Amino acid sequence: MKAFLILEDGHIFEGKHIGSKREVISEIVFNTSMTGYLEILTDPSYAGQAVVMTYPLIGNYGICPSDMESLKAWPDGFIVRETSRVPSNFRSEFSLEEFLIKNDIPGISGVDTRCLTKILRESGTMNGMITTNENFVIEEVVKALKEYKVTGVVSRVSCKEKKVTTHEKFTPTDFEMAKMTYMASPEMKEAIEKATKNGVCLGEIALSCMQGTAGIAYLNKLAEDENLVKTHYKVALMDFGSKKNIEHCLLKRGCEVTVYPADTLAEEILEADPDGIMLSNGPGDPKDVSEAIEMLKDIIGKVPLFGICLGHQLFALASGANTSKLKFGHRGLNHPVKNLATGKVAITSQNHGYAVEEESVENTDLEITHVALNDGTVEGLRHKKFPAFTVQYHPEASAGPEDANDLFEDFLTMIENFKKEGEELCQNA
C-alpha cells in the first residue's frame, strides 16, 4: 500500500506503508544511529515525534523485548529508507513491522531519507503527516501542519504513582533479560535437559529450572560488579519519561530507587528523606513542565541532585538560566562532548531538541562543565554552591557508548560526601 509523508513546507515523499494504517501529524526529527532502533522506539523522549532513521537499512536484527527501554513504543511515526524483511538474530522474537503494528505506530519505508534529512537540517525541524490517503489536499494538509503544536507529552509518559525498587528484587523484566542472555549457555542447556523426560520437555519444570538458573546468573552478575556499592542509598527518581536503563544503572550500584510521577510536590519527596534525587530524561519543551520547575526550586540545595537530558534543562530553568529550541536537535549515538575541567572527550548518546542557552548561565550560580564539540551546545552544568550537577546527554546509553557511565559513580560519591558533611556538622553543633 502506498503511503505519503507531507512536510509543512510542502515537500511530499511517496513510499510504502509499514506498521499501523492510521493517519498521524507529528514533529519530524532525524536520528543518525546505525543501531539501537528498538531502544529509540521505546524511549519515552520521542513521544510527540515521528523519527527518521538516516541509516538506510533498519530492522535487520529484529525485535528483542529485553532491549526495550519502556513497556511500549512512543513515537508518533517511523520513517525509514528500507526495512529488513528477514531479521537475523537468535534473540529476535518478531520483526520490526510486526512490532510497529502491535504498538499502533504508523510508518513509511522507501523514502529518500538522505534528502529528507538534508531538508530538516537546512530548514530545521518541522511538522509532517504520514498518511495512506492518496486524495489529500495539499493546501489543507499544510495548513493543519502549521497549526499543530506538541503539548502535554510529559504527563503522557510519566508514571501515575510512585514505586520502590531495590537491586535485591528479581523482577519479571530481570528474568526476561537474564533468560535471553543465558539461553545459549551450558548451564541453561543442562537445566533444560534435566527438565526433559522421555524426550518430552515438561514446560513448567523447564521454566522453573530456567528461572532458577537465570536468576542465579543475574544475581551473581550483580555481586561480581566491581562498582556495586555496599551501602544502599535511597534515590528518588523523577520520572519525566525515564528510560529503563537509568533506573538499572542506579539499582546495580546498590541503590534503593523510588520512582515518582512528574507532578509530585517537593514536600512529598523531601518527607521520604532520600539520599539523592535523579532527574530523568523526557519529551517536549522543558518550559511546559512548570510544576517540575517549581518543585526543583524548593529542592535544590537540600538533597544531592543529578539530572539527565530534560532533567538537565529543568534544573537550568529552576536555577535562573534559559532554554531554547535547537534548529534540528542532537539525536544519535556518536556525539563528542568535552569535559572542560579535564579536557577529556567522551562519545555520547544524545536525544534532545532543546538546549540551555550559554549566555543565560552567566548570571546564575551555575557553571558550564561540558560542551558539544560539534556545535558548542551546553552539555553539562554544576551548581557552584550546592551538590548538584546535570548533563544534556545520556550517560546510561542504551543504546550507545558507555564513555560517561562513571557519572553515576560521581553521583553516589556526591551523596556520600554530603552525608559525611552533615554528620560532621551534627557532631560540631
Q: What is the CATH number of the domain that holds 405?
A: 3.40.50.880
The Cα–Cα gap between 318 and 312 comes to 10
Residues 69 and 109 placed together within one structural domain of the fold: yes
| pLDDT of res. 375 | 95
| pLDDT of res. 398 | 83
Binding residues for L-glutamine: 45, 282, 284, 310, 313, 351, 353-354
Does 15 map to a domain?
yes
Output the nine-digit C-alpha cell for 196: 526433559
**DSSP state, residue 300:** B
Does 160 map to a domain?
no
Mutual angle of helices 203-224 and 172-182, in 10-degree steps: 90
Q: Among residues 209, 249, 309, 312, which one is catalytic?
A: 309
Residues 415 and 357 placed together within one structural domain of the fold: yes
**DSSP state, residue 320:** T
Residues 6+ apart with CB under 8 A from 169: none
Cβ neighbours, 10 Å, residue 365:
16
Cα 397 to Cα 248, 349, 404, 414: the distances in Å are 11, 6, 8, 21
Output the nine-digit C-alpha cell for 59: 530492522
The Cα–Cα gap between 299 and 274 comes to 11
The Cα–Cα gap between 315 and 304 comes to 12
Q: Which of 150, 182, 208 is the last residue of a domain?
A: 150
394 part of the active site: yes
| pLDDT of res. 178 | 52
User: How many domains, the chain?
Assistant: 3
| pLDDT of res. 276 | 97
Does 165 map to a domain?
no
The Cα–Cα gap between 26 and 47 comes to 10
The Cα–Cα gap between 227 and 229 comes to 6
| Inter-residue contact 61 to 89 (CB < 8 Å) | yes
The Cα–Cα gap between 425 and 280 comes to 31
Does 358 map to a domain?
yes
| pLDDT of res. 113 | 98
Give the CATH number of the domain where residue 43 resides. 3.50.30.20
Beta bridge partners of 236: 258, 277
| pLDDT of res. 91 | 87
Collapsed DSSP state (helix, strand, coil) of residue 359:
helix
Residues 265 and 389 placed together within one structural domain of the fold: yes
| Inter-residue contact 223 to 183 (CB < 8 Å) | no
Does 292 map to a domain?
yes
Does 88 map to a domain?
yes
Q: Which of 184, 205, 224 is the last residue of a domain?
A: 224
> In which residue ranges of the chain is pLDDT below 50?
170, 182, 184, 196-207, 209, 226-227, 229, 425-427, 429
Beta bridge partners of 197: 200
**Structural domain containing residue 275:** 232-427
The Cα–Cα gap between 74 and 273 comes to 33
| Inter-residue contact 403 to 348 (CB < 8 Å) | yes
Q: How many CA atoms lie within 13 A of 115 on its CB side?
A: 10
| pLDDT of res. 184 | 47
Residues 95 and 176 placed together within one structural domain of the fold: no
What is the sign of the dihedral through the CA atoms of 206, 210, 211 and 216?
positive
Residues 200 and 237 placed together within one structural domain of the fold: no
Residues 195 and 341 placed together within one structural domain of the fold: no
Residues 207 and 236 placed together within one structural domain of the fold: no
Q: Which long-range contacts (CB under 8 A, 24 or more apart) does 374-381 make?
A: 374/330, 374/335, 374/336, 377/326, 377/330, 379/337, 379/348, 380/312, 380/337, 380/339, 381/312, 381/315, 381/316, 381/319, 381/321, 381/356
Beta bridge partners of 165: 257
| pLDDT of res. 352 | 96
Does 386 map to a domain?
yes
Residues 353 and 408 placed together within one structural domain of the fold: yes
Q: Among residues 27, 39, 379, 396, which one is catalytic?
A: 396
| pLDDT of res. 165 | 82
Residues 6+ apart with CB under 8 A from 317: 286, 287, 293, 323
Residues 285 and 219 placed together within one structural domain of the fold: no
Residues 423 and 360 placed together within one structural domain of the fold: yes
Residues 260 and 389 placed together within one structural domain of the fold: yes
- Pairing status of strand 163-165 against strand 256-261: antiparallel
Alpha carbon 168 to chain centroid, angstroms: 24
Residues 412 and 346 placed together within one structural domain of the fold: yes
Q: Three-state secondary structure along 249-292?
A: HHHCCCCEEEEEECCCCHHHHHHCCCCEEEECCCCCCHHHCHHH
309 part of the active site: yes
Output the nine-digit C-alpha cell for 235: 534515590
Beta bridge partners of 130: 5, 24
The Cα–Cα gap between 178 and 250 comes to 18
Does 166 map to a domain?
no
Beta bridge partners of 53: 31
The Cα–Cα gap between 375 and 370 comes to 12
